[in-house]
Amino acid sequence: MLYLLDSNIFIEAKNRYYGMDFCPAFWDFLDRQIELQTIISTKNVFDELSSWDDELSDWIKDREDSGFFLPIDDKETQEEFIKISNYVVSSGYTSDAVSTFLDVADPWIIAKAKTLEAILICHEKSSPQAKKIKIPNVCDYFGVKYESTFEMLRNLNAKFILP
């Protein structure tokens, strides 16, 4: 199975559960999965995360040429992005919600996950009544599978064991 990671997976990991200072095993695990090509992300996730000046940005930049961050300019991804854009514009969300959603990596990672039949890994939960456009709501509409970081780690048999 192929997993596509959202920006927030890295941000939350660094800031909460898997801080680089106390859980380097998580980051080593990601590196191993990158080598095995079981996890991917997109170039615009790279762009979002590499613009900061912190340890996560450094980690991201060190993997720029690893093949982990896939381009989004291929025809299939572009076509799916157009479908997603049309859907969110016509779904009754406010223009601010649509603009906010379309200005970040979210619609692109959904489009890329759809084209690759990858499972999208994100922290958001489905909320059909939400005013903000949620990744899982759009995934549900387009038949894109999604899971949490913890489900992915279990499915990939991650083990963070002290020596």
CATH of the domain at 117: 3.40.50.1010
The verdict on residue 163 lying in a domain is no
Mean pLDDT value across residues 46-56: 96
The verdict on residue 95 lying in a domain is yes
d(CA 34, CA 102): 27
Range of the domain at 11: 3-155
**Model's pTM, two decimal places?**
0.95
For residue 148, the model assigns a pLDDT of 96
What's the distance, CA 35 to chain centroid? Answer: 18
The verdict on residue 119 lying in a domain is yes
d(CA 148, CA 155): 11
The verdict on residue 16 lying in a domain is yes
52-101 pLDDT, tens digit each: 999 999 999 999 999 999 999 999 999 999 999 999 999 999 999 999 99
Rg (C-alpha) for the chain, rounded Å, is 16
d(CA 112, CA 40): 10
The verdict on residue 40 lying in a domain is yes
Instruction: Examine the pLDDT at 157 and tell me if it is beyond 80.
Output: yes
The verdict on residue 162 lying in a domain is no
**How many structural domains comprise the chain?**
1
Helices (H), the chain: 7-12, 24-36, 43-50, 55-61, 75-89, 95-102, 106-116, 135-142, 149-155
For residue 44, the model assigns a pLDDT of 95
The verdict on residue 12 lying in a domain is yes
The verdict on residue 160 lying in a domain is no
Q: pLDDT band for position 129 (50/70/90)? A: confident
For residue 153, the model assigns a pLDDT of 98
**Which among 121, 128, 151, 126 is positioned nearest to 136, based on CA atoms?**
126
